[in-house]
């Protein structure tokens, strides 16, 4: 009886609003149980992602949602999304699921203060105007930064690979490439790739 109750709770977890402090949800089988929770604009959102292909997209609504695409989307029942919120702070973790032919898109409020960590793969961030602190150990990282004048501090680096940052007038390749700039804006940008390519556009 207890096990069946827990299973029912897990299947309905995506319906629980994240409007209350210290609320948490865990969802699997996203194709049949879509994941979307309320999250305030301008909140601090931490994303801890498994290796793979991820897009983080800013939207003009106050919520966080996760969508699956690709040939393996229907076979991603083991992919797990865990989300916990306390006030204006949120922590989202994505784990499990097939390794290939799966693209995960995470929608976030466009003004979110974003922190992202991912081991390896392809990661892109676009449409997010708040602070961005993003690190990828290996692979390709692309961040749409918007107007360069919006930032008070920018630092970007790659240990091995290419670093392209046209909005900031920077282009580097090779080993241990980096740059740092200060400005009059209000946002901060930190981007790092261990081995691979980093593009700020």
- pLDDT digit string (tens) for 108-151? 999 999 999 999 999 999 999 999 999 999 999 999 999 999 99
Q: Which residues lie below 8 Å from residue 74, measured CB to CB, with a gap of 6+?
A: 31
For residue 99, the model assigns a pLDDT of 84
Residues of the chain with pLDDT under 70: 1-23
For residue 24, the model assigns a pLDDT of 86
pTM for the complete prediction? 0.87
Q: 74: helix, coil or strand?
A: helix
Q: 73: helix, coil or strand?
A: helix
Nearest alpha-carbon partner for 39 in 96, 112, 99, 98: 112
Q: Which residues lie below 8 Å from residue 196, measured CB to CB, with a gap of 6+?
A: 136, 138, 139, 140, 141, 158, 160, 161
């Amino acid at each position: 009886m207890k096990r069946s109750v827990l299973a029912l709770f897990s299947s309905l977890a995506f319906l629980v609003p994240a409007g209350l402090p210290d609320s948490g949800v865990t969802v699997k089988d996203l194709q049949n149980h879509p994941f979307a929770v309320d999250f305030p604009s301008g909140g601090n959102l931490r994303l801890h992602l498994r290796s793979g292909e991820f897009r983080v997209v800013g939207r003009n609504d106050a919520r966080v949602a996760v969508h699956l695409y690709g040939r393996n989307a229907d076979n991603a029942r083991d992919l797990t999304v865990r989300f916990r919120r306390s006030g204006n702070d949120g922590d989202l973790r994505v784990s499990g699921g097939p390794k290939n032919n799966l693209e995960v898109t995470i929608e976030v409020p466009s003004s979110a203060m974003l922190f992202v960590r991912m081991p390896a793969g392809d990661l892109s961030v676009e449409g997010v105007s708040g602070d961005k602190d993003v690190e990828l150990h290996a692979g390709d990282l692309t961040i749409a930064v918007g107007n360069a004048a919006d930032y008070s501090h920018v630092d970007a680096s790659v240990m091995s690979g290419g670093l392209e940052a046209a909005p900031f007038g920077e282009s580097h390749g090779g080993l241990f490439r980096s740059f740092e700039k200060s400005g009059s804006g209000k946002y901060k940008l930190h981007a790092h790739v261990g081995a691979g390519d980093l593009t700020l556009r």
